[in-house]
């Protein structure tokens, strides 16, 4: 009996529900369907990460996060800036038009950004415009478990950062958002 073939047959016979919690046993298509939302702005980097070979150490939110972030950190400056440019403005027009991804909508709703007064909305719009004009990408922050006051305070402080500092801070928040989304996906499955 070929043990290697037997192990492969066993891996392939997992049901879809068992594969959800074991990324190392997933095909690319199943992996992307299950975890693509966490990497929504970097599918090409997710594919590079996947193609490097997932192991059992990647069978947790934290393991997937660490592996993906290594690929992200090793990406070109141009690619990292492209990723920073992808997210929507916080409390922006896309939110008002309900044109965000389900994850972004849920996160912004949890922070109270879907129920801003006109004055608050105008303040967010002003800060969004100032921030984009200064840095060339949108303000990025993991808003889950935060409220609009915390977000506005961070916005007002960060709009005065240097470009180099803000790339560093925004990149940190991209990584944090990915971790939080992966943790949610593992809880679901």
Is residue 166 in a domain? Answer: yes
Is residue 23 in a domain? Answer: no
Is residue 55 in a domain? Answer: no
Q: Residue 27 in contact with residue 21, Cβ under 8 Å?
A: no
Is residue 139 in a domain? Answer: yes
Confidence of residue 51 (pLDDT cuts 50, 70, 90): very high
Total domains, the chain: 1
Is residue 67 in a domain? Answer: no
Query: Residue 54 and residue 178: Cα distance in Å, rounded?
Result: 17
Summary mean pLDDT of the chain = 83
CATH of the domain at 146: 1.10.3330.10
Is residue 75 in a domain? Answer: no
Counting residues of the chain whose pLDDT is more than 70, the rounded percentage is 83
Is residue 161 in a domain? Answer: yes
Is residue 26 in a domain? Answer: no
For residue range 11-32, list pLDDT tens digits in order.
333 334 444 479 999 999 999 9
Domain hosting residue 93, numbered range: 88-170
99 Cβ neighbours under 8 A, 6+ residues apart: none
pLDDT for the residue 61: 95
């Amino acid at each position: 009996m070929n043990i290697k073939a037997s192990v492969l047959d066993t891996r392939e016979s997992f049901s879809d529900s068992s594969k959800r919690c074991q990324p190392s046993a997933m095909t690319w298509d199943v992996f992307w369907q299950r975890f693509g939302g966490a990497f929504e702005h970097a599918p090409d980097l997710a594919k590079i990460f996947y193609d490097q070979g997932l192991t059992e150490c990647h069978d947790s939110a934290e393991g997937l996060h660490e592996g993906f972030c290594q690929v992200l950190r090793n990406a070109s400056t141009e690619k990292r800036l492209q990723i920073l440019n992808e997210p929507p403005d916080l409390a922006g027009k896309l939110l008002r038009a309900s044109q965000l991804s389900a994850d972004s909508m849920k996160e912004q709703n949890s922070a109270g950004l879907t129920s801003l007064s006109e004055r608050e909305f105008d303040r967010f719009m002003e800060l969004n415009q100032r921030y984009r004009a200064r840095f060339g990408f949108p303000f990025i922050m993991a808003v889950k478990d935060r409220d609009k006051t915390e977000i506005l305070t961070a916005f007002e402080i960060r709009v005065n950062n240097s470009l180099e500092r803000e790339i560093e801070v925004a990149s940190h928040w991209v990584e944090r958002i990915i971790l939080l989304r992966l943790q949610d996906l593992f809880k679901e499955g």
